[in-house]
Amino acid sequence: MPKVIGKDTGATSRAVEYETQLGQGGELHQTASDTGEEGAVLTTQQGVAVADDQNTLRVGPRGPALLEDFHFREKIFHFDHERIPERVVHARGYGVHGTFTLKESLAEFTTAKVLSEVDEKTPMFVRFSTVAGNKGSSDLARDVRGFAAKFYTKEGNWDIVGNNIPVFFIQDAIKFPDLIHAAKPAPDREFPQAQTAHDNFWDFITLTPESMHMVMWIMSDRTIPRSFRFMEGFGVHTFRLINAEGKGAYVKFHFKPRLGLQSVAWNEALKINGADPDFHRRDLWDAIDMGSPPIWDLGVQLFDDEFADNFEFDILDATKLIPEEQVPVRIIGEFVLDGLVDNFFAETEQVAFCTQNVVPGVGFTNDPLLQGRNFSYLDTQLKRLGGPNFTHIPINAPRCPVHNFQQDGHMNMRNPKGRVNYEPNSWGGPRESPTTGYRHFEEEVNGRKIQERSGTFSDHYSQARQFFISQTPIEQKHIGDALVFELSKCERIDIRERMVAHLRNIDERLATVVATGLGLAALPDPAPAASPPLADLPPSDALSIVKRAPGGFAGRKLGILVSDGASATLIKALTKAVKDLPAVHEIIAPRIAGAVLDDGAILEAKQKIDGGPSVLYDAVVLALSPEGAAMLAKDKTAKDFVSDAFAHCKFIGYTSAAELLLNKAGIASDEFDEGMVLLEGPKDAAAFLALCGQLRHWARELAVDLDAEAFLADSQAD
């Protein structure tokens, strides 16, 4: 592992030298310029103070320059483009404003004020996104979700460009174009869109064993989240925190939603995309608009070189995570997303994130994927936003002073005055600050310049297996279902067989279930493993959605299907119980005008039954009169509402009259289960909502899915 060495206190920058010389007898000429008042600190375009503007970061005094020198790259990048499109990935996104508040100081580990000044409130902007689809794709595609956060700190902009999954497909950024090309529509036919169920993707994956851990995640329910509000976020990479003494600590960043985790069923996702392709966008907008903004806790996993040296895997490998049981997540603050954008294009579309945007006290490791991202993102902003001055766009502009000599270029929005546009100069303007400027973590680096993957990156199956065995049986079953579905869309049998060969190194039972689902004549031999998989890694409950269910219905949505003659007191009790959580409800009726309740009052509907399918709700109530149930029992859409809710394992509250509709929808009375609650009166409302806190009655899937029983029996066998 790299050896930490102390700060070089003997080095003196040229800027300090010439300032000293001028002060001892030279004449300092000043000129009016918006590069800053006399004495201002030189900063990057992100507002980060510069410690050294004379030397690039390199391996030793005569060694090669390093890509992570973001000040050098930004300076040259801007100069190169002084003479003066949809994202390639993460094109479909949705952004909101918020505020981060630090609750626990990390001053012991970092000089970053945003992480050391308790109760400091930092404005931020977060953009959620899918990866593979274009701007016009649907929200509920099975896909990784981007979770990128920009913190407008007092020391410059800090970006955590994360995902809702803590690992990634590849270990080295040089493979990123190949990964995305394979996942995107085939170049000859330009389909499929926003999905990976095709030959190109799985051909690449099965030839890239390092992706196997990520495959388990993307085939799990993590990639069909119920809402942005119910997703975790991860910084993915291992970063460094750097304290005042120049000492470093390793850190991984976590965003944990206060509302807990939740996903949807695959069949449900397909139908939501048809009913409301903007489901995630609408959900986030509505939550903030009605005054219930989502909150995430910001947590960190902190560890030192000793842990890194003894951990089973390489901490620089982005296809690996550190289980929370080994390094607990330390909650240090929270952020509330409560600000809707004024203009989607100006803010959500034009926001530019970059992994290299860090502040003093936050640094990088030699993770090869992170190093490549640091290089790539700046070039991406040039292509998308037209030139080097994208930080002049308000959504990207730091909220702290910016002073430098970068000039001109396409879309320059500043009007410098005076003649000076270089440094060192004797006219005046900003100067580098060795005391407050950004200092890179100093480490001893030795070795040949080579193109070679570290042998510590060679275990591709152990954590994939750990993820799988950490899931509950129903989650394991969903992974098997997803693999069968995706691979069934591959036309080439050899690609299917290669994937099953990899699965044999992860879990033999899973491989058997997938092979059976694909109709393979026999199990292929296990794929050769570069490093023998570890079979003794324990399960981690933190990796399961079901094991971390919130235990409450707060923040969810109840759909109440009503008819004329429905009980007014029951509906009043239900709506009050929902409000008390707090959660929300929508009234669905045969007519958008609503229904006349048994007390003569007219209850206005939010949705007509044709436009409010049960897939849009987390749980449903059938509040029907005998006449209403008889009418709806003849309606195909109403029967779909009920049968889908049942098939998707939702909790269903129903009045006795609604049994007719349930039966007509194909749910016989002897199939009623513990997830179905007879609402005999107002007193039952609160108890039903409490039961809904379990979110799904997954045991029902055994009865509605022919593959479930065999899979679960096999997954529990030893």
Q: Give every CB contact of residue 534 below 8 A, 6+ residues apart in sequence.
A: 312, 459, 462, 465
User: Whose structure tokens read 């199990």?
Assistant: 523
- What per-residue string of b and e applies to 399-434 under the rule 16 or more CB within 10 Å gives b? ebebbbbbebbeebeeebeeebbebebebbbbbbbb
Token pair in block for residue 702 = 């055994």
**What's the CA dihedral at 509, 510, 511, 515 to 10 degrees?**
100
Q: Residues 511, 515, 521, CA angle at the centre, nearest 5°?
A: 135
Q: Residue 403 — φ and ψ, nearest 5°?
A: -140, 120
Side chain identity, residue 184? K
Q: Which two tokens stand for residue 3?
A: 């050896």
Which segments of 606-645 are extended strands (E)? 607-608, 619-623
DSSP secondary structure letter of residue 345 = I
Output the DSSP codes for 235-249. Answer: --S-EEEE-TTS-EE
3-state SS class at 97? strand
Task: Count the neighbouring beta carbons within 10 Å of the beta carbon of residue 527.
Answer: 20
Q: Is 230 within 8 Å of 262 (Cβ atoms)? A: yes
Contacts 24+ apart (CB under 8 A), 701-710: 701/474, 701/477, 701/649, 703/671, 703/673, 704/646, 704/647, 704/649, 707/477, 707/480, 707/481, 707/517, 708/477, 710/513
Kindly provide the residue ranges of all beta strands, DSSP E only, lying in 450-556, ordered along the sequence: none
Q: Minimal CA–CA distance to 569: which of 592, 594, 603?
A: 603
* Sign of the alpha-carbon torsion through 605, 608, 611, 617: positive
Contact between residue 340 and residue 285 where contact means Cβ atoms under 8 Å apart: yes
90 is catalytic: yes
Beta bridge partners of 585: 558
Given 78, 97, 163, 460, the catalytic residue: 163
- How far is the C-alpha of 520 from the C-alpha of 504, rounded, in Å? 14
Instruction: Look up residue 700 and give its two tokens.
Output: 């029902």
Residues 90, 254, 440, 460: which is the catalytic one?
A: 90
Which of 213, 150, 571, 504 has its CA nearest to residue 355? 150
The three-point CA angle 574-579-582 to 5° equals 125
123: closest CA among 163, 160, 154? 154
Cα 129 to Cα 698: distance, rounded to the nearest angstrom: 28
Do 150 and 292 touch, CB atoms closer than 8 A?
no
Are the CB atoms for 155 and 49 separated by under 8 Å? Answer: yes
Whether 412 is catalytic: no
Q: Assign 4 to helix, strand or coil.
A: strand
Helices (H) and strands (E) in the chain, counts: 21, 20
Cα torsion angle, 679, 682, 687, 690, sign: positive
Residue with tokens 């600190």: 41
Active site residues: 90, 163
